Structure 1
Amino acid sequence: MGIAPISGERVTAAAEGDVVVFLIGMRINRWRAVRHWLPALAAMPRMLKELSRDGDSGLLGMRRLGGGPRAHGVVQYWESREKLLAYASDQGGQHRPAWAAFNRRVRSSKGGVGIWHETYIVPAGSYESIYVDMPPAGLDAAWGAEPVGRRGERAAQRLASGAA
């Protein structure tokens, strides 16, 4: 995969309505507990691949988070909370078996690996964005981009307009 081209202009995300942001990650607490953290680490790419292949999954975009060798995470942008929750509980998807296996392993790991997630439902008018000389990254990668002037030149204008 090549490097995404830089836009060369000031843009904002073309998001409409509420925005669903899901952050998920793990932390390796004990390197020697490989049998506990490696399966959790390996499960995320499988889930992201599954979601990316399914145009109806509701996953609009994602970005990996840095955090050093111990910490791994992903920011995900979703079409709706309903689609996020549907994926989480889908008996036929990658998530449920990975979560069940993690729960079984964690009992004996004695803190070898930690996981976390946070979900935010951000109401329309409560988010704004700007990207200058950037490839798509974040909301604009998930929702597309449009010139800043369409929503306001300043952050306060974009927030006051009720749109991102």
Structure 2
Amino acid sequence: MRRLAFLAPLAFAAGLAAPALAQEPRVTVTVGGDLIEEVEELGQRDVDLQLERLQTVVTRELDAHGVLGDAQVNLVLTDLKPNRPTFQQAADRPGLSVIDSLSIGGATIEGEVVMADGRRLPVHYARYSTSLADVRGFGTWQDADRAFNRLAANLASGRLVVR
């Protein structure tokens, strides 16, 4: 009887948590478009980290705002430009400096949000620096990260960016 007394509150708590878990948006991120051809040049490690970063940023923002609860968010990273050379680029071209070399960076993200009722809402977002004067910070992926954050904010506020 004591075992049941212990399990009953646990089962009750699990029952309450299940709907909350079911409402978390599911976010998947894959590589597509021209980026497929550039993965080797940028380095698989760096691209994988950016895929993970995009998924984390979007999931965190949607969770923080409690939106798109039962939706499936499928994103495709189609273009990715670093502000500074990646490790792979620096290894392939020894003349590049990971400190002094600077370029216009950013990212293009496409995809769709599949709502619980089956509606599919297309998503397209691109953000790049327009000049070297616009590049702020010292990170390799500074502008790409800015693109990820702005896409996540648009999704969380209900402004799905459509072509």
TM-score (structure 1 length as normaliser): 0.24
Instruction: Choose between structure 1 and 2 for higher RCO, CA contacts under 8 A separated by at least 6 residues.
Output: 1
Hey, which of these two has a bigger chunk of strand by percent? Answer: 1
